[in-house]
Amino acid sequence: MTTSPPVIAAANPVAPAPAPRQRPPVFASEQAALQQAQQLADAWAGDAVLRDRERRLPWAEIEAYSDSGLWAITVPRAYGGLQASAWTVAQLIATVAAADGSLGHIPQNHFYALEVLRVGGSEAQQRFFYERVQAGERFGNALSEIGHRDYRRRSRLERGASGWVLNGRKFYCTGAIFAHWIPVQTMQVIDEGKDPVSVMVFVPRTAPGVTVIDDWDGMGQRVTGSGSVLLENVAIDEAWIVPFQSSFDSPSTIGPFAQIIHAAIDLGIGEGALRATLPFVRSQSRAWVDAGVAQASDDPLTLQALGNVELRLHAARALLRRAGRLVDAAQQEPTAHTVAAASVAVAQARALAHTAGLLAANKLLELGGTSATFAEHGFDSYWRNVRTHTLHDPVRWKYHAIGNYALSGVLPPRHGAL
């Protein structure tokens, strides 16, 4: 039995994103970038429940997001960018995810594609695409495929009469709706008698044969635009093809860099849930009769539960900070051991952020009581968002990699999910 993309109301092809309205500024410092992220997050938090409830795609927010310059902060200094650290990127994502899990998630693949480009792109490709990003253009993604029970990709980049031609159907394409370029992970057939190789093709959103469909129907992360991308005889310029498989033949930070952002999403949603919990417990929750107190904020078991959430979120943030330092070090000197240390540290942060995020979202409802489930609050969105995002790749394999490294010194595998 295979699974097909869901069919939902108004699942129509989406028009391409408009061209950038302006050239974004370059931040003078990483702290300035984080201050801007906090300002945007504060502005977006108030409507997050409404966007989720109405499944209203955040076009205005995304335009403001990329106009701010935040989507270009990892462009290397050699190309005129800030070259922000992995820890700064993680803080940016967590800050925004605390306000709106979907808005925290949407840029993940944009930054991932920039890391793939940094590691495997030619100098000409880096120069071209870094300039496009600094001009305000956004990357989406078309990596995953649905309908089969394995991870083999059926999409193909093959030689046609006039050059390379790309065909395939993708799903879980977070950010593709809002993108100007869609990085597509596919198999390139170079010689008919040999196995195809994995590449990432940076496809213009407006290329003939590219169709983006708004058919994402997940219970959480509702406005990430994580639906389908159809690729039908898309003519591909050689300059858009970036090696992917070969980037893992030697140690690289593609995997840990991608994963630290995912950890930051879970952490941010959890921190947002805790921020929603505290005022609600102070003002609306009821103390349990056996507590012998007049208000929930004095209930000793409530205090114990909140302390546990606070502790785990702080611990997850500390692990994320440590992981960021190790990713930065591995980017500067990518050896088998520096990359392994970074991957394991990120796996630790991801595993704890997973647990802490879910705990915070659960406790918001538990400690808030029945009135916390009222639709007007939208508190269920924290749980739906973090539960949906934590399914991106299985946390049980993070624990496996951590344990195998600690016990036997086994280096984790090299791929984009560790």
pLDDT tens-digit map of 140-170: 999 999 888 767 889 999 999 999 999 999 9
The architecture CATH gives domain 250-408: Up-down Bundle (1.20)
Q: Is the pLDDT of residue 224 over 60?
A: yes
pLDDT of residue 1: 39
One DSSP character per residue, 12-31 reads -BPPPPPPPSSPPPPPSSHH
The token pair at 69 is 């310059």
Q: For 109, list phi and psi in degrees, rounded to 5.
A: -75, -25
What class, spelled out in words, does domain 156-246 have in CATH? mainly beta
Spatial contact of 63 and 136, defined as CB atoms under 8 Å apart: no
Distance CA 244, CA 199 (A): 4
From residue 235, alpha-carbon distances to 19, 142, 204, 206, 208 in Å are 21, 16, 10, 12, 8
Q: Is the pLDDT of residue 10 over 60?
A: no
Banded model confidence at residue 7, pLDDT cuts 50, 70, 90: very low
- Could you tell me the residue ranges of all domains in the chain? 30-134, 156-246, 250-408
Kindly state the greatest CA–CA separation across the chain. Answer: 81
Q: Which residue type does 47 have?
A: D
Distance CA 230, CA 241 (A): 18
Q: Which alpha helices (DSSP H) does 30-170 contain, by range? A: 30-45, 48-54, 59-67, 86-99, 101-105, 108-120, 123-134
Instruction: Out of 3.40.50.1000, 3.40.50.740, 1.10.540.10, 1.20.1250.20, select the CATH number for domain 30-134.
Output: 1.10.540.10
Arithmetic mean of pLDDT over the chain: 96
Does this model's pTM top 0.75? My answer is: yes
pLDDT of residue 14: 95
Q: Which residues of 338-350 are buried (b: 16+ CB within 10 A; e: fewer)?
A: bbbbbbbbbbbbb
